[in-house]
Amino acid sequence: MSPANAKLNAFPVFMRVDGGAVAIVGNGEEALAKARLIAQSSAELRIIADHANAELLAFIATSGAVHVDAAYDAAQLEGAALAFAANGDEALDRRVAEDARRLGIPVNAVDRPELCDFFTPALVNRAPVAIAIGTEGAGPVLAQLLRARIDRMLSPSLGRLAALAASFRGAAERLPKGNRRRRFWSDFFAGAPAKAIEAGEFARAHDAALDLLASNAPAAGHIALVGAGPGAEDLLTLRAHRLLMEADAIVYDALVPEGIVAMGRRDAERLPVGKRKGCHSKSQEEINALLIELGRAGKRVVRLKSGDPLVFGRAGEEMAALREAGVAYEVVPGVTAAFAAAADFELPLTLRGVSSSMVFTTGHDLKGNSLPDWAKLAISGATVAVYMGRSVAAEVAGRLIEAGLSPDTAVAVVENASLGNRRRFHGTLADLPSLEARADLTGPVMTIIGDAVAGANFEGSEPLAAHRREDTGHESAANPADEGVEQ
């Protein structure tokens, strides 16, 4: 099962314990660890321990916990919202678990997942904000490592900011639903109120929030032309991820994986525009008009483009249209397919003494009568990254060889660069036409040509020569999934 489809065996929830009791049965370290965790809540802490060790007794004395200094009995659990069996004795832990279930109390038995109704998380506490990390008991150390990492990411003042937000919730609900209300909260948590709280100036934060409420200025639309990268979700930039989380609408191309689109806000409008070779659901003019319409409506829009928006992504046309319409925009770079393919091959795109320049092209330039300038650069030693499908492989190879590039020039080909299902091929320029007959290549194909390619790591890749075609004049039908570039 892929990570995107994995199912949780334990669903995370937050239990209300205010005004209730949490019972912990145990005398030693396990009981103390759970007591320290629960002490971060407002629950009454009931510790049932007839032979409590010194550390547990010291904790009880300073925490205000109720100490039941008696041998365990099921009646001691009554009225508790949660129960913990932390004895280190399997028979007693099982008895506590069975008693708790009979009384209708959810129970956790330390280090005995088979007895647990719930698992205790690693907790990042910024009350009233809490972040709970669980592994269903499979990796407590992993949960602690994640907790430490998240704890460093979050400001210590986050709890105070959340408390201020709670005091403004009623006033914010009087704002019009939709973009106006979302914009208030976005500016609240990322603007002047948050900065004032960070500086320890609560009164100034309160006044800044009032100013945001009083502002009647219409929301200004904003378009972010975002590079979604070659496909792997973890190659998305931090800025791209942040913008996706803030977006009111996500406009995305066909080559952008659903997993990346899903990283946006759950309630964001999702608008596929589906431009791809041989399958255009919207023309470029229609996409331009859609972006302008959304921007003028005050929406924050992420326009997701495969790879980098400035590399064969037609960003120039969209930027020109937005400028003419007076709609604000920004460009967020992404990892282009050439870089991802090179990384898959551990391939140096420039190599001292071999190649000091590189070319990005779609290969379609070779269909004219005249040889484009970049082809001349290839002959002089530049590394050429060709965003192309197998349907033009023979033409690219033939024209370059005719122009003087050696048939023995090294070639690397990657299908689905950066993804787990990528396929890698290696060979020479003379082998490249074999791609045209490969009906099994259904994903975007990236080809890199040049002497620097010889420095790649070819281990595990397939040789192109094994599939060299006998009939080099055969014409293949273009596969709509061939192109690794929006056309």
Question: The domain that contains 290 carries what CATH number?
Answer: 3.40.1010.10
* 480 part of a folded domain: no
- Mean of the pLDDT values across residues 436-442? 84
Confidence category of residue 441, pLDDT binned at 50, 70, 90: confident
- Range from 113-122, 160-169, 468-477 that averages highest in pLDDT: 160-169
For the chain, the residue count is: 487
Judge if 437 and 369 occupy the same domain: yes
Domain of 347: which CATH number? 3.30.950.10
Task: Note the pLDDT of residue 483.
Answer: 38
Confidence category of residue 469, pLDDT binned at 50, 70, 90: very low
* 15 part of a folded domain: yes
Residue 253 catalytic?
yes
Judge if 354 and 458 occupy the same domain: yes
The residue out of 60, 94, 120 marking a domain boundary is 120
pLDDT of 476 higher than 60: no
Judge if 77 and 168 occupy the same domain: no
Task: Note the pLDDT of residue 373.
Answer: 72
Q: Which residue has the higher pLDDT, 3 or 386?
A: 386
pLDDT of 143 higher than 70: yes
Q: What are the E-state strand segments in 4-78?
A: 21-25, 44-48, 66-68
- Mean of the pLDDT values across residues 217-238? 88
Judge if 343 and 463 occupy the same domain: yes
* 48 part of a folded domain: yes
- Range from 75-79, 148-152, 391-395 that averages highest in pLDDT: 75-79
Catalytic residue among 99, 187, 275, 305: 275
Domain of 16: which CATH number? 3.40.50.720
Q: What is the greatest pairwise CA distance in the chain?
A: 95
State the residue range of the domain holding 45: 3-120
Q: Which residue has the higher pLDDT, 367 or 127?
A: 127
83-96 pLDDT, tens digit each: 999 998 999 999 99
Judge if 293 and 245 occupy the same domain: yes
Say which range, 108-122, 265-279, 303-317, 458-472, has the weakest mean pLDDT.
Answer: 458-472
* 269 part of a folded domain: yes
Report helix, strand and coil shares of the chain as percent, to nearest 5: 40, 20, 40
* H/E stretch holding 151: helix 140-153
Kindly report the average pLDDT of the chain as a whole number. 87
Structure tokens at 48: 């049932």
Judge if 235 and 253 occupy the same domain: yes
Say if residue 272 is preceded by a cis peptide, omega within 30 of 0.
no
* 251 part of a folded domain: yes
Distance CA(388)–CA(197), nearest Å, equals 52
In this structure, are strands 269-272 and 44-48 parallel, antiparallel, or unpaired? unpaired
Q: Which residue has the higher pLDDT, 166 or 374?
A: 166
pLDDT of 478 higher than 60: no
Judge if 228 and 301 occupy the same domain: yes
317-326 pLDDT, tens digit each: 999 999 999 9
182-214 pLDDT, tens digit each: 888 888 987 889 889 988 999 999 999 999 888
Confidence category of residue 470, pLDDT binned at 50, 70, 90: very low
Distance CA(302)–CA(243), nearest Å, equals 7
Judge if 420 and 454 occupy the same domain: yes
Judge if 198 and 183 occupy the same domain: yes
Catalytic residue among 253, 308, 344, 431: 253
* 147 part of a folded domain: no
In this structure, are strands 423-428 and 410-415 parallel, antiparallel, or unpaired? antiparallel
295-354 pLDDT, tens digit each: 998 888 999 999 999 998 889 999 999 999 999 999 999 999 999 999 999 999 988 888
Task: Note the pLDDT of residue 101.
Answer: 96
Task: Note the pLDDT of residue 25.
Answer: 97
Work out whether the CA dihedral 306, 311, 314, 319 comes out positive or negative.
positive
Name 353's Cβ contacts closer than 8 Å, sequence gap at least 6: none
Number of domains in the chain: 4
pLDDT of 371 higher than 80: no
Residue tagged 């992993």 (tokens): 142
36-52 pLDDT, tens digit each: 999 999 999 999 999 99
* 79 part of a folded domain: yes
Judge if 350 and 460 occupy the same domain: yes
* Residue 475 burial class via C-beta count within 10 angstroms: exposed 0-12, middle 13-18, buried 19 and up: exposed
Judge if 246 and 354 occupy the same domain: no
pLDDT of 484 higher than 90: no
Q: Which residue has the higher pLDDT, 106 or 381?
A: 106
* 136 part of a folded domain: no
pLDDT of 400 higher than 90: no
Residue 275 catalytic?
yes
Task: Note the pLDDT of residue 467.
Answer: 64
Amino acid, res. 463: P
pLDDT of 472 higher than 80: no
Judge if 360 and 458 occupy the same domain: yes
Q: What percent of the chain has pLDDT over 70?
A: 91
Confidence category of residue 378, pLDDT binned at 50, 70, 90: confident
